[in-house]
Amino acid sequence: MIIGIPKEIKNNENRVAITPAGVTILNNAGHRVLVEKDAGIGSGFTNEDYRLTGAEIVDQASELWHASEMIMKVKEPLASEYGYFRPGLILFTYLHLAAEPALAKALQDDKVVSIAYETIAVNRTLPLLTPMSEVAGRMSIQIGAQYLQKSNGGQGILLAGVPGVSRGKVSIIGGGVVGTNAAKMAIGLGAEVTIIDLSADRLRQLDDIFGSQIQTLISNPFNIAKAVSEADLLIGAVLIPGAKAPRLVTEDMVKTMKPGSVIVDVAIDQGGIVETIDKVTTHDNPVFVKHGVLHYSVANMPGAVPRTSTIALTNVTVPYALQIANQGVVQAVTNSGALQSGVNTANGSITCAAVASALGTAFTPFDEALEQHTAAS
């Protein structure tokens, strides 16, 4: 199979969908890998690094998209890339379609087979989301701590406190991968940490991991309101896979926060859990202020630490890319429940139930989408 790796074009997105090590794996299995010129520079990989492992460097994005049977990316295609879509093209990347209806429509209209990293599920885990959630969860605390500084518009508190002065309070809503990694960092800094989750079992696990270093609370509007009002730093870390994030933190709750407090809504890629966040921000201009509270809503946080993130991401994506390339997409998806859960669009249909429900459109299982295609052709 011919696999194309375009340069990412989202604001400050310096990750790339493959490393030279990944090229070697695909090459050794007999596949051709095309890498757009300078695609790896932001992650510290030169064109020569890729050439040495057998990749072909392609100058123009348009040439690469047209020549490739499968495109591997990091972030969802932007509108300027929709023109490259065509029937049968395989697109393997983060998509977050619940928050991207225009992209979903373009993929349907052009009959692209799109496989979203974030909906590939194995035993109720999301192995292609996990490493980036680890990165973003850890980053959320260092970013929040930075914006709590007076010089950056914050209240002017140190999360760790000092002897004789209270420590800062961090409230984390959602105790999955992002939440757990945020908690690790916040505890490490010496903050007072509360974690809220809907699952009592998950709270038990967190209690086993962190013991008395955290306060756990079950998710309901009363507990969320209390934790929000007390937080110096609030982290949004909820996920219902494939679906739009529930708006758990209302505008009235945000109004109860102290001026100069900070919200980092990591769940913004699925629409965000905070009512006062009405836009996705970028690494260039990451924060806006509402009701005196700093809001950070960057949807590609790991893009700011590309060397770590690219390696962590490609460690988990390349084995799936290899399955698709070796078997062809239909056979690979038919053989693998994990890949089946990742297919979001095929032959003009939405093939992921949670995405279809979030977009208010019909859901068609992958095999039925294939049959409809065969019957029509």
Catalytic amino acids? 96, 269
- Residue 242 in contact with ligand NAI, rule: CB under 6 A: no
- Residue 197 in contact with ligand NAI, rule: CB under 6 A: yes
3-state secondary structure of 176: coil
Residues 322 and 21 sit within 8 Å (Cβ to Cβ):
no
Spatial separation of the C-alpha atoms in residues 100 and 108, rounded to whole Å: 13
Q: Which long-range contacts (CB under 8 A, 24 or more apart) does 147-153 make?
A: 147/262, 147/287, 147/294, 147/296, 148/232, 148/233, 148/260, 148/261, 148/262, 150/260, 152/294, 153/260, 153/287, 153/289, 153/294
The item of ligand CC(=O)C(=O)O, ligand NAI, none sharing an interface with residue 177, based on CB under 5 to 8 Å by kind, is ligand NAI
Token digits of residue 331: 């056979």
The item of ligand CC(=O)C(=O)O, ligand NAI, none sharing an interface with residue 19, based on CB under 5 to 8 Å by kind, is none
How many CB atoms within 10 Å of residue 247?
Answer: 14
- Residue 187 in contact with ligand NAI, rule: CB under 6 A: no
Q: Shortest gap between Cβ of 356 and ligand NAI (angstroms)? A: 18
The item of ligand NAI, ligand CC(=O)C(=O)O, none sharing an interface with residue 62, based on CB under 5 to 8 Å by kind, is none
- Residue 302 in contact with ligand NAI, rule: CB under 6 A: yes
- Residue 269 in contact with ligand NAI, rule: CB under 6 A: yes
Q: Shortest gap between Cβ of 218 and ligand NAI (angstroms)? A: 9
The item of ligand CC(=O)C(=O)O, ligand NAI, none sharing an interface with residue 248, based on CB under 5 to 8 Å by kind, is ligand NAI
User: What phi and psi values does residue 56 have, to the nearest 5 degrees?
Assistant: -105, 130
- Residue 246 in contact with ligand NAI, rule: CB under 6 A: yes
Q: Would you call 152 exposed, middle or buried from its count of C-beta atoms within 10 A (0-12, 13-18, 19+)?
A: middle
3-state secondary structure of 314: helix
Q: Which chain residues interact with ligand NAI by CB under 6 A? A: 118, 129, 132-133, 136, 173-179, 196-199, 202, 219, 237-240, 246, 248, 266-270, 298-302
